[in-house]
């Protein structure tokens, strides 16, 4: 049974369950804000190793202050259970978005990739590794924010590793060849995982697959995968080259740092956005995918920005629209915003 209160936070509802526990939406009284609370599963709490890993997540989060990283506010121990209080991100993770709407268009993909790479560069600067970069651990908010989350298996590069010899840490499809070979993870392993993630978001399928874990690991070790543009020809060559370099088999052939990767993706995004603000692009993308947005988020997008995305979500079937000129432009823009809001609400009813 869920607690009614954790510290100063009143539980509102359950958001989801995962391998380590359950996540709740809560309201932090006194500060009048929504927060997320991650509770360690009671059965797992009996394990000293898993409890320490959960504590490590809290400590890892607590060190980080970055706009693209979910921030931690508190860690509470109650009734032999640990609770981590973090930012509440009003949106959806990329695994859910991908499963419901298919591959992501190039301009939104470049923006998302740049923000996550920027977050990883900051994480690495602070002597941490994420070690579990994947679509399910990247959130998009209805306000157009990109957030990297779930540092449950993050590793402090200056501290001892909890993982026993021979134990693999991370999600199998996103493990790098060197980690599978038994070498320690380093920042380039996170870059590899981001490359796998971006490939999957662009193509709608992972670059490496297998009928079982051993076949999957063999595919990753061999380094053989279909070139991105062969399975996703809509991806611009420049963006495809950036992603493919993340997937170089030898770590030294990948991007040297996540910061270098972020700069390349930012430059690519600037060309694709054609003057549109990156955050506005994510807001528009969320509208296309049927996620409701607050009024203040919608007002960030002007009519020309909305039109700039008409062909962005390929497969959405959005036809070109020519805006009116003169005094009717304002009324036309309002009508477009209302139409998108109604469409998003209608889709939510069916979710």
Our answer to whether residue 132 is catalytic in this structure is yes
- Mapped onto helix, strand or coil, the DSSP state of residue 330 is helix
CA distance 152 to 1: 23
CA distances from 295 to 211, 281, 301, 337, 338 (A): 46, 16, 11, 9, 10
Residue 4's contacts (CB-CB under 8 Å, 6 or more residues apart) are 10, 11
Beta strands at 33-40 and 72-78: parallel, antiparallel or unpaired = unpaired
Residue entry with tokens 């993308």:
285
Do the beta carbons of residue 247 and residue 202 sit within 8 Å? no
Do the beta carbons of residue 280 and residue 111 sit within 8 Å? no
What does 221-273 look like in DSSP terms, one character per residue?
Answer: HHT----HHHH-TTS-HHHHHHHHHHT-SSGGGS-S-HHHHHHHHHHHHHHHH
Provide the angle, in degrees to the nearest 10, between the axes of the packed helices 278-288 and 106-125. 120
Residue 136's contacts (CB-CB under 8 Å, 6 or more residues apart) are 93, 94, 95, 96, 150
Lateral strand order in the sheet of 72-78: 5-6, 9-17, 21-28, 33-40, 81-87, 72-78
- Mapped onto helix, strand or coil, the DSSP state of residue 329 is helix
Taking alpha carbons only, the member of 275, 264, 288 closest to residue 105 is 288
CA distance 9 to 19: 23
Task: Say which of 41, 132, 150, 313 is annotated catalytic.
Answer: 132
Residue 340's contacts (CB-CB under 8 Å, 6 or more residues apart) are 287, 298, 306
Residue 8 dihedral angles phi and psi, to the nearest 5°? -90, 10
Annotated catalytic residues are 132
């Amino acid at each position: 049974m869920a607690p009614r209160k954790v510290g100063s936070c009143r539980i509102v509802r359950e958001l989801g369950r995962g391998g380590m526990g359950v996540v709740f939406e809560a309201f932090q009284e006194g500060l009048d804000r929504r927060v997320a609370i991650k509770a360690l599963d009671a059965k797992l709490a009996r394990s000293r190793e898993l409890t320490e890993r959960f504590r490590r997540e809290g400590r890892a989060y607590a060190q980080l202050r970055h706009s693209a990283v979910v921030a931690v506010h508190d860690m509470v121990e109650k009734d032999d259970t640990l609770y981590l209080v973090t930012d509440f991100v009003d949106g959806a993770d990329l695994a859910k978005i991908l499963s419901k709407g298919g591959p992501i268009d190039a301009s939104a993909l470049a923006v998302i990739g740049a923000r996550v790479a920027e977050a990883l560069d900051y994480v690495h600067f602070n002597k941490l590794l994420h070690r579990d970069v994947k679509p399910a651990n990247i959130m998009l908010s209805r306000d157009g924010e990109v957030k990297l989350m779930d540092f449950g298996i993050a590793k402090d590069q200056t501290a001892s590793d909890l993982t026993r010899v021979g134990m693999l840490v991370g999600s199998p499809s996103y493990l790098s060849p060197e980690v599978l070979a038994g070498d320690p993870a380093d920042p380039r392993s996170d870059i590899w995982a981001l490359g796998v993630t971006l490939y999957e978001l662009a193509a709608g399928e992972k670059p490496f697959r297998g009928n079982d874990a051993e076949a999957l690991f063999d595919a990753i070790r061999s380094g053989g995968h279909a070139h991105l543009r062969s399975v996703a020809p809509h991806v611009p060559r420049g963006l495809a080259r950036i992603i493919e370099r993340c997937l170089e088999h030898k770590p030294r052939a990948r991007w040297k740092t996540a910061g270098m990767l972020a700069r390349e993706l930012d430059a690519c995004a600037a060309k694709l956005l054609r003057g549109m603000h990156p955050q506005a692009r994510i807001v528009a993308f969320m509208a296309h995918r049927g996620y409701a947005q607050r009024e203040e988020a919608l007002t960030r997008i002007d009519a020309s920005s909305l039109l700039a995305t008409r062909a962005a979500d390929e497969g959405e079937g959005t036809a070109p629209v020519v805006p009116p000129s003169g005094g009717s432009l304002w009324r036309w823009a309002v009508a477009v915003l209302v139409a998108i809001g109604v469409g998003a609400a209608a889709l939510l009813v069916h979710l």
